């Protein structure tokens, strides 16, 4: 019985420590929310600068674990555009901060590129309110 109580007490202590660390991490990361960043990205080991592209990020929040939630997008050298939200233990250290205007400019460029690719593939032309029916 005493061993079971000790296990329960240790579990409560661990839970308390995890919650404390999450609050501490959240406090440390809150100042990043709203800021925008870019960093170079590549496949494998780049041989030239032409094999690199930028990954653009905007800190959109802090999750329950205190980690920064980043909204990200990139268009690689093959023309593949990816959008994702990441909330891993992301750090703003080592990232190049950019203006919100620059972030929005690059986001608009990526969205226009996607729309053009969709048009060329015949994926555009849906009518609003038509239940997704094609024109």
Q: 78-127, pLDDT tens digit by residue?
A: 889 999 999 877 677 778 999 999 999 999 999 999 888 888 888 766 55
* DSSP state letter for 15: H
- Element (H or E) spanning 9, and its range? helix 2-29
- Give the residue from 51, 53, 49 showing the smallest Cα distance to 38: 53
| 86 falls within a domain | yes
Indicate whether 36 belongs to any domain: yes
Q: What is the pLDDT of residue 8?
A: 77
Q: Is the pTM of this model over 0.85?
A: no
The reply to whether 69 falls in a domain is yes
Does 129 fall in a domain? no
Is 125 part of a structural domain of the chain? Answer: no
134 inside domain: no
Decide if 63 is inside a domain. Answer: yes
From residue 115, give the alpha-carbon distance in Å to each of 18, 27, 54, 128.
Answer: 44, 39, 20, 16
Averaging pLDDT over each range in 6-10, 27-31, 122-126, which range is the top one?
27-31
Query: Which pLDDT belongs to residue 124?
Result: 66
pLDDT at 15 over 70: yes
Which residues on adjacent β-strands are paired with residue 40?
54
At residue 126, the pLDDT reads: 52
Number of domains in the chain: 1
- Is residue 133 in some structural domain? no
* Residue span of the structural domain in which 14 resides: 2-120
Whether the CB-CB separation of 57 and 89 falls below 8 Å is answered with no
If phi over 0 gives left and psi between -120 and 50 gives alpha, with beta otherwise, what is residue 94? left
């Amino acid at each position: 019985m005493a061993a079971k109580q000790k296990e329960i007490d240790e579990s409560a202590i661990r839970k308390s420590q995890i919650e404390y660390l999450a609050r501490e991490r959240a406090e440390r990361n809150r100042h990043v929310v709203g800021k925008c960043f870019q960093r170079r990205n590549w496949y494998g080991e780049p041989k030239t600068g032409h094999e690199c592209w930028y990954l653009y990020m905007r800190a959109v929040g802090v999750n329950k674990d205190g980690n920064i939630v980043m909204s990200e997008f990139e268009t690689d050298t093959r023309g593949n555009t990816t959008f994702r939200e990441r909330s891993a233990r992301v750090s703003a250290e080592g990232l190049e901060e950019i203006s919100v205007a620059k972030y929005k400019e690059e986001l608009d460029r990526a969205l226009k590129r996607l729309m053009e690719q969709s048009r060329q593939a015949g994926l555009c032309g849906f009518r609003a309110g038509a239940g997704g029916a094609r024109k």
